[in-house]
Amino acid sequence: MSNFDVLFIGSGQGAWNAAMPLSMSGQKVAIIERDKIAGVCTNYGCNPKIILDGPIKVMEDAQAYKGIGMTSEMKINWSELMAHKNKVLDALPVMLEENFKKAGIEVIKGEASFVNEKTVAVNGQEYTADKIVIASGQRPTPLDIPGKEYLKTSNEFLYLEDLPDHIVFVGAGYVSMELASIAVKVGATVHVIQSSDHILNEFHQPYAQKLLTKMQQDGIQFHFNEKLSKVEQQEEQLQITTEKGLTLTTQLVINATGRVPNVENLNLEAAGVEYNSKGIIVDEYLQTTQKGIYASGDILDKKQPRLTPTAVFEAKYLAASFLGAQTQAIEYPPIATIAFTVPRIAQIGVTIEEAEATGLTIKPIDLGKQWDFAGRNETEAHLNLVYNQEQKLVGATAYSQEALEIINSLTPIITLGLTSKEVDKLIYAFPSFETMIPRYLQETK
Ligand SMILES: Cc1cc2nc3c(=O)[nH]c(=O)nc-3n(C[C@H](O)[C@H](O)[C@H](O)COP(=O)(O)OP(=O)(O)OC[C@H]3O[C@@H](n4cnc5c(N)ncnc54)[C@H](O)[C@@H]3O)c2cc1C
Ligand SMILES: NC(=O)c1ccc[n+]([C@@H]2O[C@H](COP(=O)([O-])OP(=O)(O)OC[C@H]3O[C@@H](n4cnc5c(N)ncnc54)[C@H](O)[C@@H]3O)[C@@H](O)[C@H]2O)c1
């Protein structure tokens, strides 16, 4: 039996961003992982997705110049792109594991299961710790339908050696919209089956509607108010059927109907840790219903978006708490979110809907009419800024190929509550979106 100061279940961003500083501060730390080291973001999420999206964005940006200077057509070789992605990312779990070990962290491979509130078993071996952090993340929601064995998820999509000619995505949330945007640009025929009548629930719906129109123009075929009910193998192909009787013949069906917390195999009952269908229940110090057991990242039952930066923030909070450098309840700053679609939608702080409901000032900016966006021929680019009663910027929502940079450049202003006088002290490189910010802060009407 080994004893640790802190034991982490899971090796994702919600774990290692706490484990590293704790170990480097002299605590005896272990990480337990049953799959690839470093979790979903590194292996099955953000990182592989953004590498595969790289040439998609380049292609879209370049094609905007068609007829105004760009003459060549662009094509993507999926297999080469996938091999490149694997070459870059396959090294990361190995490198991170080495870094963990160099920092003094013990890495335990296998599935963790609680024996009691102080003890966890892995492969028949028991480990005890003063503090245990559950950072076991989420996995795709299983669909319990006939033929479920033929369904694949984003995990498999992000490792496909060849891209099938015909793909059906089930769900129209973040995962489907990002991966469908990639697949259609590479040349696949793409269908989306969505149970409601809209896409990207979390985002400003007029922008989501614009994106939907763009995705349809790009060739993606949407089937709204439809639920997948059956998948059958027909020789080399798959036939899908919806509850209303729509049938499609395809080569690949990606189930992206949401994600569920990884709670099942942890034997949480033995530890007295309570959870529900959304995840593990914690207090404002991220402590579970059992003293000494904490949780971090996607596994939490929380209202904040389940994203990597949120998991990192929680992990750092826990490390600071365990080291005595933090005694306050967790206080989340505004969290920037983005859908990496073509174009992107991103937002931070007070949403347009919240502003409308509370009577705050909303300033729409037609970015596409500004010379720099017009210069790139990005005529459909939009931004909405939200100001509070003191005319401070408190929220922003962007629809643009450059939405990532736009929202990130507004993040410090919104988070730190900077005034236009303070922003005037910043000299940004020009030409850039950032140089327009002081003007937006002065003209709130
Ligand atoms: C396709 C996709 C794209 C995404 N893109 C983005 C993006 O662009 N930006 C962004 O901010 N977020 C993105 N996310 C979300 C992001 O990946 C997660 O928010 C982040 O990974 C959460 O980190 P975590 O440490 O809480 O959990 P995870 O990364 O899920 O790590 C949990 C780990 O725990 C392990 N585990 C579970 N149970 C056990 C057990 N019993 N014993 C041992 N180990 C166990 C799992 O194997 C896993 O490795 C994306 C997610 C997906 C699926
Ligand atoms: N860019 C990013 O930050 C990013 C990217 C990908 C994933 N993520 C994370 O992963 C999470 C999960 O993403 P997701 O897209 O899997 O889930 P989601 O909850 O965002 O979307 C799932 C969609 O599937 C639909 N749906 C549910 N059941 C259905 C059924 N039976 N048939 C048809 N449609 C159905 C829902 O209406 C919903 O629109 C996100 O909430 C986010 O936390 C983030």
Q: Give the CATH number, domain containing residue 349.
A: 3.30.390.30
Q: Give 4-41 pLDDT, tens digit per residue.
A: 999 999 999 999 999 999 999 999 999 999 999 999 99
Q: Is the pLDDT confidence value at 114 over 90?
A: yes
- 334 domain-assigned: no
ipTM: 0.98
> DSSP letter at 262?
S
Residues 152 and 244 reside in one and the same domain: yes
Last residue of a domain, one of 204, 227, 257: 257
Flag whether 327 is in a domain: no
Ligand 1 atom closest to the Cα of residue 37 is 49
Q: Tokens standing for 55?
A: 């040439």
Cis peptide before 343 (omega within 30 of 0): yes
Residue 445 predicted with pLDDT over 60: no
Cα separations in angstroms, 157 against 44, 52, 82, 167, 179 = 9, 11, 10, 10, 8
Q: What domain count does the chain have? A: 3
Residue 254 is predicted with a pLDDT of 98
Q: Hey, whose CA ends up nearest to atom 20 of ligand 1? A: 308
Residue 12 labeled ligand binder: no
- Tokens of residue 418, six digits: 């900077």
Q: Whose CA is nearest to atom 8 of ligand 2?
A: 174
State whether 120 and 175 are in the same domain: no
Last residue of a domain, one of 233, 257, 281: 257
Least confident of 72-76, 345-349, 378-382, 438-442: 438-442
3-state secondary structure of 445: coil
Give the pLDDT score at 88: 98
Please check whether residue 332 lies inside any domain of the structure.
no
Asked if 264 and 133 sit in the same domain, the reply is: yes
Ligand 1 centroid to residue 333 C-alpha, Å: 21
H/E element holding 42? helix 39-44
Pocket of ligand 1 from Cβ distances under 6 Å: 9-15, 32-35, 39-41, 44-46, 49, 111-112, 135-138, 154, 175, 262, 265-266, 297-299, 306-309, 311, 340
Mean pLDDT for the stretch of residues 60-80 = 96
Examine the domain organization and report whether 198 and 274 are in the same domain: no
Instruction: Examine residue 304 and state whether it is found in any structural domain, yes or no.
Output: yes
Claim to verify: residue 188 and residue 42 sit in the same structural domain: no
- Helix, strand, coil % in the chain, rounded to nearest 5: 35, 25, 40
Residue 199 placed within a domain = yes
Residues 173 and 217 in one domain: yes
The residue whose CA is least distant from atom 9 of ligand 1 is 46
Is 333 part of any domain?
Answer: no
Residue 222 in any domain: the answer is yes
Same domain, 168 and 26: no
Of 170, 175, 200, 304, the residue with max ligand 2 atoms within 8 A of its CB, to mutate for a pocket test, comes to 175
Task: Residue 312: give its domain's CATH number.
Answer: 3.50.50.60
Q: Which two tokens stand for residue 302?
A: 């929380």
Residues with Cβ within 8 Å of 332's Cβ and at least 6 positions away in sequence, in order, are: 304, 310, 313
- The residue among 268, 289, 322 that closes a domain is 322
Is 174 flagged in the annotation as binding? yes
Residue 420 binned pLDDT confidence (cut-offs 50, 70, 90) = confident
Instruction: Check whether residue 78 and residue 47 sit in a common domain.
Output: yes
In a shared domain, residues 228 and 166: yes
Whether 39 has a binding-site annotation, put simply, is no
**Widest distance between CA atoms in the chain:** 70
Tell whether 126 and 198 lie within a shared domain.
no
- Is the pLDDT at 270 greater than 90? The verdict is yes
Please say if the pLDDT value at position 443 is more than 90.
no
Mean pLDDT score across all residues of the chain: 97
DSSP labels, 311-352: HHHHHHHHHHHHTTS--SPP------EEE--SSEEEEEES-H
Q: Are residues 234 and 279 in the same domain?
A: no
Are residues 127 and 25 located together in one domain of the fold? yes
Domain that holds residue 171: 148-257
Domain annotation covers residue 337: no
Task: Please tell me the predicted confidence (pLDDT) of residue 444.
Answer: 61
